[in-house]
Chains A and B, each alone.
With several copies, the nearest count.
Chain A
């Protein structure tokens, strides 16, 4: 999803591991998105089983802003890495 991957001739095992890690990240991101937008947009009184119009509109914007946040965090991390301000966690 973010152009990960790298060594010139990776083995089958490495490619599968990378693909699996990528799938896990996309799934993980989706799950966090579902949680965050539920907590930001959904009324927890449960008068109704439907997602109402106001909630639906909020959800659409929530997903859009979440993706923008995702891209922004990626850009910020790159800048921090290049500026040498952050040395890497390990």
Chain B
């Protein structure tokens, strides 16, 4: 990345914040879509069954924990990659 000066960094920070809001919304709607896909398959009624409801809770909890763990490893690996690039 080219070096950014202070003013540019502030502008970039705003861009980052907007993207984080979008990211969160994307995470949210992907969670709905994924857990609906995996858990809801009975269309004989218009309401969620107890079983579907329980499945959705575990699905979203598991996905959040999953992406938290992947995020930690991602940062570690990314830091490693950056170090190796700077050595070259």
Contacts and interface: CB of A to CB of B under 8 A. Distances in A.
Interface residues of B, number: 63
Interface of A: 1, 3-5, 10, 12, 15-30, 32-42, 44, 46-51, 55-74, 76-77, 80, 85-87, 89-90
Interface in B34-70: 35-41, 43-48, 52-53, 55-70
Give the dominant DSSP class at B's interface.
helix
A85 B65 CA distance: 9
21 contacts: A1-B81, A12-B7, A12-B8, A24-B19, A33-B70, A40-B40, A48-B62, A50-B61, A59-B73, A60-B69, A61-B45, A63-B74, A67-B80, A68-B47, A68-B48, A69-B40, A72-B56, A72-B57, A73-B60, A74-B28, A77-B28
Given A25-B29, A51-B66, A65 B8 contact: no
Interface in B13-41: 15-16, 18-23, 25-33, 35-41
Given A61-B45, A89-B27, A16 B64 contact: no
Nearest to A74: B28
Contacts of B20: 90
Nearest to A18: B2
Contact of B66 (A27, A38, A47, A72): A38
B39 to A, nearest CB: 7
B60 A76 contact: yes
